[in-house]
Structure 1
Amino acid sequence: MPFAAGPLAGCRVLLVEDEYIIADEMDGWLRQAGVLVLGPVPDVEEALDLIEREAGALDLAVLDANLGEGQTAYPIADRLDELGVPYLFATGDVRLVDEPNYQCRTRLEKPVTQRGLLRALEALLASRSGGEG
């Protein structure tokens, strides 16, 4: 696959998604845009391990809010906040709006589209470049 040129080319994006088909599809979309995908990983433990191994090398992250077996991505989001890594939620969980710490975060409702995902990540990247991330 040729390396894409565009705003996301070369960005290192953590992808946390527990549903294989969705993870595989988003992974493909991101790679087509030239993203260096870290993951996809399906749970909190693997995501936190990956974050620690790649500390300082993450540009952005895409998190599914619910990761199965009662897990949420909130511990991952909290760690990303500590590191200053912008992230968005790609989820079908409407309860996310009830969590005050995450209400201001970008949320893409499933089913996520390729165009929607890439545009949202481009906006996060632009806000990080502007010093808001």
Structure 2
Amino acid sequence: MTSPSPRGTPTAGSLTGVRILLVEDSWHLARAMARLLNALGADLAGPVATAADAERLISERRPDVALVDFSLRDGEPAHDLIDRLQDQGISVIVITGYEVVPIAPGKVEAILHKPVSAAHLIATVRQVTSR
């Protein structure tokens, strides 16, 4: 994740009360995103690195939106997890290092390509949660 420019710096508290599930297997990126989301007041579940851990968190508390890395630690693309999230009415934002992501149109709310800036991540989460 790249740092936001001074103009693009999100304001404190801008995600207060938004329940976010973070599924990312790159520990340094997961940690950076978690710090940012927590600082903005999000109610964060995770980060977790596998679909199984994500399923456990979903069963404990339903998120408003899920940030999901397309390729997880358990070696599988996140297709099944994305399908289960969508079936439950949970908005999904995919974060990926792949240039092309084989996801059917309308399956996810947005696809963000790594490296993603903090400002772009926050703007996307705000846009998805305001729908």
Equivalent residues of 1:66, 1:93 under 8 A apart: no
Equivalent residues of 2:91, 2:109 under 8 A apart: no
Equivalent residues of 1:31, 1:37 under 8 A apart: yes
1:68/1:83 CA distance change after superposition, 3 Å: same
Whose helix proportion is higher, 1 or 2? 1
Aligned pairs for 1:28-107 (under 5 A) are 28-54=35-61, 57-96=62-101, 98-100=102-104, 105-107=109-111
Distance 1:72 1:34 in 2: 30
Distance 1:46 1:70 in 2: 14
Distance 1:75 1:84 in 2: 14
1:85/1:23 CA distance change after superposition, 3 Å: same
Q: Which residue of 1 aligns with 2:129?
A: 125
Match of 2:13 among 2, 5, 27: 5
Q: Deviations over 1:7-65 (max 9, x none)?
A: x21111000000100000000110111101100000111111111222xx311110000
Match of 2:23 among 16, 23, 29: 16
Residue type at the aligned position of 1:125: T
TM-score (norm 1): 0.82
Q: Which residue of 1 aligns with 2:34?
A: 27
Equivalent residues of 2:51, 2:81 under 8 A apart: yes
RMSD, aligned α-carbons: 1.7
Task: Report percent identity of matched pairs.
Answer: 30
Deviating 4+ runs (over 3 angstroms)? 101-105
Give the count of matched residue pairs.
120
Equivalent residues of 2:82, 2:92 under 8 A apart: yes
Q: Which has the higher contact order (CA 8 A, sep 6+)?
A: 2
Secondary structure of 2:66's counterpart equals strand
Q: 1:104 offset after TM fit, Å?
A: 5.5
Note the residue ranges of structure 2 that are not aligned, 5 or more in a row: 1-11
Equivalent residues of 2:13, 2:39 under 8 A apart: no
Residue type at the aligned position of 1:119: A
